[in-house]
Chains A and B, each alone.
Chain A
Amino acid sequence: MSRDKRITEDDAVASLSDGMTIGIGGWGSRRKPMSLVRALLRSPLRNLTIVSYGGPDVGLLAAAGKIRKIVYGFVSLDSIPLEPHWRAARQAGAIAEPVEYDEGMLQWALYAGSLRLPFLPTRAGLGSAVVDVNPTLKTVRSPYADGEELLAVPAIRLDAAFVHLNRSDASGNAQFLGPDLYFDDLFLAACEPGHRYVSCERVVATQDLLKEGSFHTLKVNRSMVDGVIEAPNGAHFTTCEPDYGRDEAFQKAYATAAANPDDWRVFSERFLAGSEADYQAAVATWQAAVATSSAAVETSKAAVATSKKES
């Protein structure tokens, strides 16, 4: 029987310290480990270096002033292309060290880190502003007959990694059931053992892992994981296919509130002031109210239609 690694989000975050480099899996507003990000928001941690294909994880951490340095290819909410908190933080010059990479360069940095190589070569980034704004990037010349000059993407080693997957057993054999793993396995593999955390929609028995997906879905094994957090709806409001899609209405409410400091205060008091359970309860209340009001709109539309018919 393998070791039971189940912990809570707050246990995971309590194990971290100021100034650490934290990799966050997912992509944009897709399958983000949001319950772990919310735990980070509740913590006193600061001066963090974040590595992410950024979405609301980056927006929230930027708004909370927790990011000193960030390595990223973009920050976007997908259906809402620009992340309002991220825009505000960047336009205020509030991110001390933004390291902007081509999307593929970021994969390479994590892959090099996972292979314990100092760098990996690529052409992506050469000649672009990526090398202008990151003057520490160096090139390397092919030692073979072509002699081509290539960009040497430096490896990223993470102090901690957060990813959210669909299922996991208690020891961290984890499973993605959706259309894309993104680079979650690389985030875990590029991380020093000790703080590699997988949250999941449901913890299942090892013998049940193949009941919902083929063996191809088992890209994360327990040697890559130090802690397992059962977090139903933990990716909310981002996608977690096939368990649930993005909560577009909530994301819109988030983005609208984020664009205005007063509205943001109200939003964060309502949703982010308490525990993860408080968050999920507040979201459920919000969703019920939205459902009721849209039902009311439908009812009044029907009433109008009826009265029009009658007149």
Chain B
Amino acid sequence: MTALADIVVIAAAEAFRGDGEIFASGMGTIPMLGARTARSTFEPDLLVSDGEAFFVGNELPIGGSDKLVEGWIPFRSVFDTVWGGRRHVMMGASQIDRFGNTNIANIGPFARPKAQLLGVRGGPGNTINHATSFFIPKHTDKVFVETVDMVSGLGYDRAGTLGEWVRRNHRLPRVITNLAVLDFQTPDHSMRLASVHPGVTAADVQAATSFELVIPGDVPVSRGPTDSELAAIERLDPRGLRHREVS
């Protein structure tokens, strides 16, 4: 029986498939592990960072310090890379709606939030400039909402009202949760159920979502890791930190 965390890490890694020689940036354990697993297996040209200021050329475990530095990426260069487009980030989201508008900033009105969260951080710049995927460890109807309280990351509807350049470069490849993988591959870019994790039904996912998902007739089951992928995951996360993020 494959652990849920391993299914989720592979789903995260799959987000970076086909990206080639760009900066695969993950915020948090599972997104970082997804990027590093993709690089260690099917997407070897990716650049990954230590989460501080360096690109690492070796297979660096989460929390590891034995780095082979292959480049310097201080925040200023990160912004340059974001605006230059050679990056795909996987971030968290406290709220997300059907078109992929996301909120990490605050719950309740901006003027006086019920809960002040992180602020918009790099969300606006990321989503308008390059591919942005999301990892949500607990899929609930409080997170998957009709309307987000503060748009820190642009969804397809908002991006669609901007210019042609934005429509060409804005891309939300996938949303990974503890229940499923979702994407926006529908004619109007409303959220679609792309696969369910083993043991989860499409009805379970819909029940944990406030808006109506596009659910194809035949929803595949998210794949588990191959033997060599699982070996890579174990090397990259020997302490099993991934299991603390989803269970």
Contact = CB atoms under 8 A, between A and B. Distances in A.
Given A127-B166, A128-B153, A82 B125 contact: no
Interface residues of B, number: 43
B54 A132 contact: no
Contacts of B158: 127-128
A269 interface: no
Contacts of A90: 106, 112-113, 116
B194 interface: no
A129 interface: yes
Interface stretch (B9-17, B73-81, B230-238): B73-81
A264 interface: no
B51 to A, nearest CB: 10
B82 interface: yes
Given A91-B116, A124-B129, A129-B105, A103 B110 contact: no
A136 B79 CA distance: 24
Given A91-B112, A100-B105, A124 B124 contact: yes
A129 B152 contact: yes
Contacts of A74: 118-121
Interface stretch (A175-183, A220-228, A295-303): A175-183
B74 A76 contact: no
B54 A124 contact: no
Interface string B142-160: 0000000011111000110
Nearest to A185: B76
Given A102-B124, A126-B166, A127-B158, A93 B111 contact: yes
A213 interface: no
B83 A124 contact: yes
Given A27-B75, A91-B115, A182-B75, A133 B124 contact: no
Contacts of A118: none
B75 A128 contact: no
A122 interface: yes
A49 to B, nearest CB: 17
Interface in A207-252: none
A100 B119 contact: yes
Contacts of B216: none
A199 interface: no
B161 interface: yes
Contacts of B154: 127-128
Contact of B121 (A73, A82, A86, A182): A73
Nearest to A86: B116
Contacts of B244: none
A101 B122 CA distance: 9
Contact of B110 (A81, A92, A100, A125): A100
Interface in B178-201: none
B163 interface: yes
A124 B118 contact: no
Contacts of B110: 98, 100, 129, 133
A283 interface: no
Contact of B165 (A72, A93, A148, A181): A148
A104 B82 contact: yes
Interface in A84-142: 86-87, 90-93, 98, 100-105, 107, 122-130, 132-133
Contacts of B116: 82, 86-87, 90-91
Given A27-B75, A128-B152, A146 B121 contact: no
A100 B122 CA distance: 11
Contact of B79 (A82, A100, A103, A180): A103
B52 interface: yes
Given A127-B154, A127-B158, A132-B151, A146 B119 contact: no
B52 A179 contact: yes
10 contacts: A27-B75, A74-B119, A76-B119, A102-B122, A103-B122, A126-B162, A130-B124, A146-B165, A149-B163, A179-B52
Nearest 3 A/B pairs, CB to CB: A124-B125, A179-B53, A128-B124
Interface of B: 52-54, 72, 74-76, 79, 82-83, 105-106, 110-125, 127-129, 150-154, 158-159, 161-163, 165-166
